[in-house]
Amino acid sequence: MVPKAATFPSGIKALADFVHSKGLKLGIYSDAGIQTCSKTMPGSLGHEEHDAKTFAMWGIDYLKYDNCENTGTSAKERYPVMNKALQNSGRKIFFSLCEWGQEDPATWAPAIGNSWRTTDDIQDNWDSMISRADMNDKWASYAGPGGWNDPDMLEVGNGGMSMEEYRCHFSIWALAKAPLILGCDIRSMDNDTYSLVTNKEVIAVNQDKLGVQGKKVKNGDLEVWAGPLSGNRVAVVLINRGTSKATVTAQWSDIGLDSSAIVDARDLWEHSTSASVKNELSATLDSHACKMYVLTPH
């Protein structure tokens, strides 16, 4: 692989140095096949050692490794080869496996990579987003520090959903400890989108040091998602998946709290706190709207 001169006249190493000077990291894309999904660029199949060393020399920090043009060989055979090559490259590179959840990677990828796609590609609409959340949820117990389930990138800001729907999207991904990778063009991001994706309280749930993936604890149109956080706290998302306004309720027993618990409930989107809440948490929500809380027991 060589940099495309017209696009990267100074080379990838110079680009990486510039990105690092801004306090950021640089990711790159390749494929566990003979070509990438564009079918115009070479994949890394059969060239893993050479390509991994090239990425390391360039100063790459993150590799998304796709699954197109894969010659029909099992992902369980192809992806470990790149893992070994990255280990031998001399640089710490985050390894993001993307075989679209075809061979249940949550059951084997934790030994190989740092994240693994649990779903096929997401699209910028409610049905696609919420179904990816459902697909990802079944693998919650396999995630943890060092290795994460990935239900695909965030569509927030691309225009196909309402801001309420995007708020649900961001809330579930944060609770599920999914990689928060923006899929919109940040150069043209509007103020509402910027405010949503920079909510530090929601991001803090995603980055919580306990590293336990939150999951769905109450099914149906009036849905509850929850998971433990460090400091004996609990993160909760209430979602109205139905078509009309309704009240969603989380009982303490639904979310792992003792029935006698008294909590302070911090609303992460409103940045407000309700003190001394007992027994349950309720919110009346429009269709496809949500609330996200962190509960701190007294």
Query: Residue 22 pLDDT > 90, yes or no?
Result: yes
Query: Mean pLDDT over residues 252-276, rounded?
Result: 97
| Domain identity same for 156 and 269 | no
Residue 178 confidence class, pLDDT cut points 50, 70, 90: very high
Query: Residue 1 pLDDT > 90, yes or no?
Result: no
How many C-beta atoms lie closer than 10 Å to residue 215's C-beta? 17
Query: Mean pLDDT over residues 144-157, rounded?
Result: 98
How many C-beta atoms lie closer than 10 Å to residue 227's C-beta? 22
In sign, the C-alpha dihedral spanning 98, 103, 107, 112 is negative
How many C-beta atoms lie closer than 10 Å to residue 33's C-beta? 23
| Domain identity same for 242 and 182 | no
The CATH number assigned to the domain holding 281 equals: 2.60.40.1180
- Determine, yes or no, domain membership for 3: no
Of the residues 207, 238, 265, which one is the last residue of a structural domain? 207
Helix axis angle for 126-137 and 163-175, nearest 10°, is: 10
Query: Residue 11 pLDDT > 90, yes or no?
Result: yes
Which tens digits make up the pLDDT trace of 80-138? 999 999 999 999 999 999 999 999 999 999 999 999 999 999 999 999 999 999 999 99
Residue 201 lies in domain? 12-207
| Domain identity same for 55 and 182 | yes
| Domain identity same for 77 and 201 | yes
DSSP3 helix / strand / coil % (the chain, rounded to 5)? 30, 25, 45
Chain centroid offset of residue 250 CA: 24
Residue 168 confidence class, pLDDT cut points 50, 70, 90: very high
Q: What is the DSSP string of 119-135?
A: SS---SSHHHHHHHHHH
| Domain identity same for 270 and 156 | no
Task: Please count the structural domains in the chain.
Answer: 2
**Per-residue confidence (pLDDT) for residue 211, from 0 to 100:** 97
| Domain identity same for 169 and 285 | no
Q: Indicate the average pLDDT of the chain.
A: 97
Which residue type sits at 33? Answer: G
| Domain identity same for 117 and 30 | yes
**Per-residue confidence (pLDDT) for residue 96, from 0 to 100:** 98
Of the residues 207, 224, 254, which one is the last residue of a structural domain? 207
For the full predicted model, state whether its pTM sits above 0.85. yes
Identify which of 31, 146, 28, 25 has the alpha carbon closest to the alpha carbon of residue 82. Answer: 31
Residues annotated as catalytic are 66, 121
Of the residues 188, 207, 226, which one is the last residue of a structural domain? 207
Query: Mean pLDDT over residues 213-240, rounded?
Result: 98
Task: Quote the DSSP letter at residue 100.
Answer: T
94, 126 in Cβ contact below 8 A?
A: no
Q: In what order do the strands lie in the sheet with 94-97?
A: 27-31, 62-66, 94-97, 115-117, 148-150
CA dihedral of residues 249, 124, 19, 98 (deg, nearest 10): 90
Which tens digits make up the pLDDT trace of 28-74? 999 999 999 999 999 999 999 999 999 999 999 999 999 999 999 99
| Domain identity same for 222 and 268 | yes
The CATH number assigned to the domain holding 89 equals: 3.20.20.70
